[in-house]
Structure 1
Amino acid sequence: MYKCCIFDLDGTLVDSIKAINYTINLTLKKYNLGPISEDECKIFVGDGYKKLVERALIHCGDKDLVHYEDGILTYTEYFKVHCLYKVKAYDGINDLLSYLKNNNIKVAVLSNKPHDRVIENIESMFENKYFDYLAGEKANIKRKPDPAGAIIISNELNISLENCLYIGDTDTDMKTGINANIDTVGVTWGFRAKEELELYNPKYLVNHPVDIINIIENSKKLKLSNSN
């Protein structure tokens, strides 16, 4: 039975695309480049802010990444100010998190977003009343799809990976689940198309947060059935 849910953040728990898009366009504007659309931004995100800056610069014509190093610093400074710009929790997420808390299921976040911005988003959106462990991009956690972050969370919460669910919305998240050998949930309300998630054969594909409650309830019934 599942005893822990490890969530991606952007595109899974919160709709943050306006904040990311706003910040990258401010960054591009400094070099008289851009803007890029939200739909383009959704394709560029998922592998950390450095990759976002790289992809956006190349897309806008800076093929040699002349502005890359400065762009990283510029994006970082702008994002400190704008990381909560029009961010909101997806419909049903608070109900899902409340269910998990009430059923003593551990809740963690594993994100490629800078760690301080993860904390800021969680505290702003949820007052951090649901979460047992938060992990953003920082020195001791390798960027997804490396499985190290999921393994660290499993160890820190003392719950085996076979009793965890990893939940995300991008190909990076699906690869993370595969690399960690953990049951993975692809969510269709996020930044990428259902067809992209299906390519990686996640154990579950869901259209609404309530579907995750059903997955956990079914895992409880299966455990009871196997114990009889």
Structure 2
Amino acid sequence: MYKCCMFDLDGTLVNSIYALKRSVDGTLAHFGLGPITLEDTKTFVGDGYKKLVERALKAYGDPELVHFEEALNVYNRVFKECCLYRVEAYEGIPELLAFLKENHILCTVLSNKPHVRTIENINYVFGPDVFDRVYGERESAGIKKKPSPEGVEALLEELGISKEECLYLGDTNTDMETGKNSQVDTVGVLWGFRSRDELKVYEPALLAEHPMDVAEFIKGVNHIE
């Protein structure tokens, strides 16, 4: 029986691709580079902002990463200003969250986005009271970012939930690896930033076309009428 759903943020709960692209474009423009394409943005995200900046620089004119350290500072400044640009919940997500609440299943967030920006996104789109726990990247607290299992394990320990009682949802290979590394059941969501082919090789418990597919899956596992 699932007692907790753990959500990735970008590409899973919210469509933030325009904010991410805008932030990368602003960073690259500082060095006379870019802009990045929307498709490359979708491919480069998922492993934290440092990897995002690294991939963008390498692909758009700085293969030796001469500007990398400065670019990280520029990105953080730009991202702070536009991290909510055109950010919105995916269709069906509010209904899925309502279903989980109605059935007393904990709703949590585990993202590789900087923690402050993660909180900001959640509060802006959903309000402060929808999720039971919200965590972004916490490497400064000694918790490695995804796909390390440490974030999942720390959150489950905090909630007193076993691995068997957790369902993890995400849209990238990083999320699928996180689920496998954490030994929790994983849902690959197909409304996000990556393809079915990328996700299915990890053999998740479910590939979901729509958020309410997750609700139907949970009904079967938890024997909900």
Aligned residue pairs: how many? Answer: 223
Within 5 A, what are the aligned runs for 1:79-228? 79-138=79-138, 139-140=140-141, 141-221=143-223
- Name the SS for the 2:10 alignment partner: coil
What do the CA deviations read for 1:157-192 (whole angstroms, capped 9, x no partner)? 111011000000000000000000000000000000
Cα offset, 1:135, TM superposition? 1.1
What do the CA deviations read for 1:31-82 (whole angstroms, capped 9, x no partner)? 0001111111000000000000000000012011011000001000111110
What TM-score results when the alignment is normalised by the length of structure 2? 0.97
Task: Return 69-78 or 131-140, whichever deviates more.
Answer: 131-140
- Name the SS for the 2:180 alignment partner: helix
* Aligned residue identity for 2:179: G
What do the CA deviations read for 1:125-156 (whole angstroms, capped 9, x no partner)? 00022211111012222110000000011111
The unaligned stretches of length 5 or more in structure 1 are: none
Within 5 A, what are the aligned runs for 1:62-81? 62-81=62-81
Cα offset, 1:216, TM superposition? 1.1
* Aligned residue identity for 2:213: D
Instruction: Give 1:51's aligned residue.
Output: 51
* Aligned residue identity for 1:147: P
Q: Following the alignment from structure 1 to structure 2, what is the Cα–Cα distance between the partners of residues 102 and 181? A: 26
What do the CA deviations read for 1:186-211 (whole angstroms, capped 9, x no partner)? 00000001100011111111100001
- Name the SS for the 1:167 alignment partner: strand
What TM-score results when the alignment is normalised by the length of structure 1? 0.96
Q: Following the alignment from structure 1 to structure 2, what is the Cα–Cα distance between the partners of residues 143 and 62? A: 25
Instruction: Give 1:33's aligned residue.
Output: 33
- Name the SS for the 1:104 alignment partner: coil
Instruction: Give 1:23's aligned residue.
Output: 23
Task: Return 138-147 or 26-35, whichever deviates more.
Answer: 138-147
Q: Following the alignment from structure 1 to structure 2, what is the Cα–Cα distance between the partners of residues 8 and 56? A: 22
Q: Following the alignment from structure 2 to structure 1, what is the Cα–Cα distance between the partners of residues 159 and 102? A: 17
The unaligned stretches of length 5 or more in structure 2 are: none
Q: Following the alignment from structure 2 to structure 1, what is the Cα–Cα distance between the partners of residues 206 and 12? A: 14
- Name the SS for the 2:148 alignment partner: coil
Q: Following the alignment from structure 2 to structure 1, what is the Cα–Cα distance between the partners of residues 222 and 133? A: 23
* Aligned residue identity for 1:190: G
* Aligned residue identity for 1:176: T
